[in-house]
Amino acid sequence: MSDSAILQVSSLEVRFKGGSRRKIVHAVNDVSFELKAGEVLGLVGESGSGKSTIARAVLRLIEPTAGSIHVLGKDIQQLNNHALRSLRASMQIVFQDPWASLNPRMTIGSLIEEPLLLHGMGNRLERARRVEQLVKRMGLSTGLLGRYPTQLSGGQLQRVGVARALVTGPRLLVLDEPTSSLDLSVRAGILKLLSELREELALAMLFITHDLGTLRLIADRVMVLYLGAVMETAPTEQLFTAPSHPYTQALLSATLSADPNARYRREQLLGEIPSPINLPRGCLFEARCPLAADKCGVSRPSLSSVDSGRHFAACVRTDAAIMRARERAMAV
């Protein structure tokens, strides 16, 4: 792990109690990564893969079961409530649903100003100036400050959510599916805004999405999750052009090309996703993997380097997976 990282996560595990006290849900399993200033790390995977759980754990909105989380060099699991409250100004989150995350009884101006009040930042005039400045930067009119959330569109509300998250000047911004509820044109505007803010403010962003196309536009690196574990991680273009894990290849095959003349060849995964209450001893993807061998069920593979660079995959059959991907690409 680098000392210059804004966020450092090591061997993170999150467990929840199931319907019975004897049952434990393994939501996140041995996840490690780091995030530097000005970098966007994308988390992708099916529903239930642990993306949102990781996001909430790194902000300590839920308590991790094991592992360590450092934000700006501070171990947030060791901080008391007062120290953690002070640090929260430096780490903020934008939620998926702006209608649910913004209080409908507060005006837009009050919603954006509230974090400044909670952290005791600035006097009344300074707070008002900061709110107006941010609203303009979000591409919104200051005339909206006296309105209520129900009077704004979904795109406007998401911009308000971003402004509210940025008002305290955070270094780490977690975005949990921030564009999934928006139409394509509005989504493009939000992504452009986020890219500009990343450059202007040197923000470290953890970007969670189901949309691989969105991820390719904004992320520097991508981490692919399955059953709460990392299957593959790589620089964005490298992952999209040379996926080395069978699960990543299956995910990418489900993405439609922007070229209307391109041939579409989706890979259908067979079998059922294992229960997070009773995880397999070996590879978590073995039951659905088209390349599974006997050795895959013996022990769980760790992330290993694919190209002696920043590309890693948790698979003992990466050579076969890479060859298979090349054959499929040639056949299209």
- pLDDT for the residue numbered 254: 76
In a domain, 264, yes or no: yes
Query: What is the torsional sign of CA 158, 199, 217, 316?
Result: negative
Q: Cα(71)–Cα(328) distance, rounded to whole angstroms?
A: 42
Residue 25's pLDDT is what?
Answer: 93
The domain tally of the chain equals 1
Q: Is residue 138 part of a domain?
A: no
Burial-class residue 256 by CB neighbours within 10 Å (0-12, 13-18, 19+). exposed
For residues 299 and 284, the answer to whether their CB atoms sit within 8 Å is: no
| Domain containing residue 331 | 236-332
Element (H, E) at 223: strand 221-226
275 within domain boundaries: yes
Within a domain: 322: yes
Strand partners of residue 234: 222
pLDDT in tens, the chain (332 residues): 455 799 999 999 999 987 666 789 999 999 999 999 999 999 999 888 999 999 999 999 999 999 999 999 999 999 999 999 999 999 999 988 888 889 999 999 999 999 999 999 999 999 999 999 999 999 999 999 999 999 999 889 989 999 999 999 999 999 998 887 677 777 888 888 889 999 999 999 999 988 888 899 899 999 999 999 999 999 999 999 899 999 999 998 877 666 666 665 667 788 888 999 999 999 999 989 988 888 898 899 999 999 878 999 999 988 888 787 777 666 55
Q: What is the pTM of this model?
A: 0.91
Count of alpha carbons within 13 Å of 209, Cβ hemisphere only?
Answer: 24
Residue 45 forms part of a structural domain: no
Residue 289 lies in a domain: yes
Tokens of 92: 């903020």
